[in-house]
Structure 1
Amino acid sequence: ERFAGETFGVRAGEPLLSDDTALQNDLARRGVDAYHPVFANYLFCAVCDFENGFLTLLSNRLWSSEVIRRVRPVLDGLLVGIARPQ
């Protein structure tokens, strides 16, 4: 319940090894919209909307089918739907 109304961002990739202060500042100012112009620099960025039950993956490097293949076993047995954009 504590985070029900919050939206969270997650990222992974090489820019985390260096200074990504500009993105940190932009995230503080614009929220997760700041990921849009820079997500291609990362392995992936993701936007987690717990209130509405969405995890949106932003990536030019990972195929949605690869992510689903890896996530499905972890979510097996939970009330979770996995969908790919058409």
Structure 2
Amino acid sequence: MLSLPQDRPANATRANGVNWLSLSPDGDGGGAGHGDDTPLILRNMLPSSAFTHAVQNTHTPGDERAVMGDYLPTGTYTTATFEARSSQVS
């Protein structure tokens, strides 16, 4: 989970099994009016040549879902939902 510090769900803790990363309150830091943008880099390892769902196998913008299938990372905004759901677990 990642968010600005002020948006961190109260129960986004290690005790609840959550890894949390702070987004930069300065945005992208570029000063170009992108205060709500923070770069997030996902590192991709070189897979076995038999693994056909690797990001390296995408060739055209938009073909990621077809190539990567269930391995395609996705993001969602979940603060309120997360707090409601995981408070039942803690």
TM-score where L is the length of structure 1: 0.24
> Whose helix proportion is higher, 1 or 2?
1
- Normalized per residue, the structure richer in strand is 1
Q: TM-score, normalization: structure 2?
A: 0.23
